[in-house]
Amino acid sequence: MDYINGYERYFGEPNTIHPNARVYYKYFHIDTNNSFTNRLIRVYIPSTYDFHNPDHRFKVIYMFDGKNLFDDYTSFVGEWGIDESIESMIEQRINDGYIVVGIDAPETDIDRSLEMSPTGIKRNKKYPPHGDGYAHKLGRFIMNVVKPDIDSTFYTISDYSGVGGSSMGGLMAFYMAVEYKYDFKFCLSFSPAFFLFRWDNFKAYLDRKVDDSLPRIYFYIGGQGFERIFVETTLRVYNYLLDKGYSHEQIKLIYDSDKEHNERDWREYFSKMLLRID
């Protein structure tokens, strides 16, 4: 099927999408504080998906920076290989696969940074921009517009979703897990950009929001180059959650001192996270 409920199958050439996979796309309007209000949503459906079998349903993972997930030719500096990772799990009979929904970010770094920053948390002065974030608008867009549309279009397990992303997307994924803790079963937070914020303000936010109802959360950090700046604050949030009573099974963290801040290294741990957290 090449068209379904406004979603069009992607046939762009060249592409690096797995030959057994299918990726669909659709534009949505998002109410945001920046000018990029026409937002592309990309949907990967696994090779096990059958349009003629509505009884065969799939868990969904909502991920940020959608253009970097499936195709080198749409990515900024290389893709995650999400489709290859899931298709490999299917081939190994590990599971039946997942639907993955990629939400494209604004086209400028400043807009992306502010759109994925929680409102009212003061920035560390060393890391501009210093405007107030508006992650709540992106969160509402996903929960009130995108998710209902995905659930009504594809064969999903509507009450079993995860959320994931890297860097600002890792921060946004964690934010979604906190703000919508009853709507997500797990969170994959790669290299979350906690360091952008003053710890006293970020901790105050956590104190207001965190209780015993968070979904399972998996943090990942590397240890080389620019990635080193993510280590201290990720460990601080991880330990904060442990101090709140979460177990090492509920809140996981992996640190690979040899890895850098890029899609190639995040890709290596994506399927490993799914195997351990889902």
C-alpha count within 13 angstroms, C-beta hemisphere, residue 12: 13
Q: In 3D, which of 260, 262, 140, 271 has the Cα closest to residue 218? A: 271
Structure confidence by residue, pLDDT tens digits, 16-75: 999 999 999 999 999 999 999 999 999 999 999 999 999 999 999 999 999 999 999 999
Is residue 146 scored above 90 in pLDDT?
A: yes
pLDDT of residue 266: 95
3-state SS, residue 266: helix
- State the pTM of this model: 0.97
pLDDT band of 275, cuts 50, 70, 90 = confident
pLDDT of residue 78: 85
pLDDT of residue 276: 84
Is residue 77 scored above 90 in pLDDT?
A: no
pLDDT of residue 58: 98
pLDDT of residue 235: 98
> How is residue 64 written in tokens?
């940020």
Question: What does each C-alpha distance from 160 to 23, 56, 174, 255, 275 come to in angstroms?
Answer: 21, 14, 17, 27, 16
Q: What gap in Å lies between CA 82 and CA 79, rounded to an integer?
A: 8
Task: Kindly state the average pLDDT of the residues 176-205.
Answer: 97
The mean predicted confidence, pLDDT, of the chain is 95
Using a pLDDT cut of 90, give the percent of the chain over it. Answer: 91
**Sheet architecture: strand order including 156-166:** 3-4, 7-9, 22-29, 38-45, 99-103, 58-64, 156-166, 186-190, 216-222, 251-256
Q: Where are the domains of the chain?
A: 3-277
Is residue 278 scored above 80 in pLDDT?
A: no
In degrees to the nearest 10, what's the CA dihedral of 135, 263, 98, 112? 20
Say which CATH superfamily domain 3-277 falls into.
Alpha/Beta hydrolase fold, catalytic domain (3.40.50.1820)
Structure confidence by residue, pLDDT tens digits, 241-255: 999 999 999 999 999
Is residue 127 scored above 90 in pLDDT?
A: no
Structure confidence by residue, pLDDT tens digits, 202-236: 999 999 999 999 999 999 999 999 999 999 999 99
